[in-house]
Structures are given as C-alpha cells and as structure tokens.
Homo-oligomer: A and B are copies of this chain.
Amino acid sequence: MIDEGPPEDGAADTPIGRGELAAPLKLEQFLPYRLNVVASLASQALSRIYADRYGIGVPEWRVLVTLGQFGMMTGKAVGAHSHMHKTKVSRAVALLEKRKMIGRRANRADLRESFLSLTPSGRAIYEDLAPIALNFAKRLAEAVDPCDREAFERAIDRLIDRSAELSAEIARSRRGS
C-alpha cells in the first residue's frame, strides 16, 4: 500500500537546518527506554525465581518483603513503601492470605484498616527467598565497575526524585488543559 520512498536521508549526522536542533533520538540511547529495558530484564529474571518456587508474582513479592522488613503494618503503608497502587496491594494481600503466608488483624481503633503480618510459614518463605534475592542483586550490581557504583546509586536516587517531579508536573499541566 503506502509505497514509501527511498531511505529518506542518508543518516548523515549533519546538524541540519530547520529551526530546531535535530538531535537524532536513537532509541537505544534514550534514557527512559534504557531504564525500562534494564528494569524489565532484571525484574523478569528475579521474578521467575520466586514464581517457580512459590507461585507468587512481583506484587506479592513486594508485600512479603515489606512485611518481612517492618513486621506489621497496614495495607496503605505497604503500598506507600513499595510504590504500589492500592488495588495491587489489595489483590496481592488477598492472594497471600489465601495461601496462609500472611495474616490480618483488625485495628480495633480504626476498623477501616487492618494490620498485616507474616505467618510463620510466610516468614519461612521470606527467609528462604531473601538471601536468594540479595544474591541476585549482588551478582547484578557486580556487573558495574566498582568505581562507578557510588555514582550509579546516587544517580538512581536523583532520577527517582526527578521522575516523580516530572510525573507530577505533567499530571498538573494535564489537569489545566
């Protein structure tokens, strides 16, 4: 159908002419894309481990780790600490509860929420998975040149902050459209 002409421009890196700077936008150098690639590769690889062992997914894993770290907290707090939407938390909690990995106890002082915590078997699973996960993260991080590691961690911190800012800015500009 559309017959698309010849290769368009010769892919020369001549800086162009039109009013705008025609930076090339190479996908493989484009930061948001690169972040997505590395995140999804790492996440997928790790999740296969706990999916194989215990049949849980990323949201359940995050709930498990958060409760393993803090011991007892509400769903809201779990969501805040693990950057998860409340529906995701709700469903992950429901599954983990069905599998008897976590328990709930109503908060007598506020019946809307309940306190979640690991059951003994949930904790056993957590203690099985945690060192495996840490080892995975360690092997991943070891790929980075030791003298780049500090800079890298700093950079990630900055990027998390900034992307949250940009996200909020865009949401704001959208509201006022």
Contacts and interface: CB of A to CB of B under 8 A. Distances in A.
A120 to B, nearest CB: 9
B166 A45 contact: yes
Interface size class of chain A, counting residues whose CB lies under 8 Å from the partner chain: 35 or more
**Top 3 closest A-B pairs, CB basis?**
A2-B103, A143-B162, A39-B39
A36 to B, nearest CB: 5
B148 A37 contact: no
Contact of A32 (B23, B42, B171): B42
Contacts of A32: 39, 42-43, 46, 133, 136-137, 140
A167 B44 CA distance: 7
Given A41-B164, A105-B4, A27 B158 contact: no
Taken together, the copies of this chain in the complex come to 2
Interface of A: 1-5, 7-8, 20-21, 23-28, 30-46, 48-49, 52, 62, 65-66, 68-74, 76-77, 81-83, 102-105, 115, 117-119, 130-131, 133-134, 136-137, 139-145, 147-149, 151-152, 154-156, 158-164, 166-167, 170-171, 174, 177
Contact of A72 (B5, B62, B159): B5
A21 B127 CA distance: 11
A119 B5 CA distance: 10
Nearest to A167: B45
Contacts of A37: 83, 160
19 contacts: A1-B74, A1-B104, A2-B70, A2-B104, A5-B70, A25-B65, A31-B140, A36-B43, A38-B39, A38-B163, A39-B40, A45-B167, A136-B166, A140-B163, A145-B151, A145-B158, A148-B152, A148-B154, A148-B155
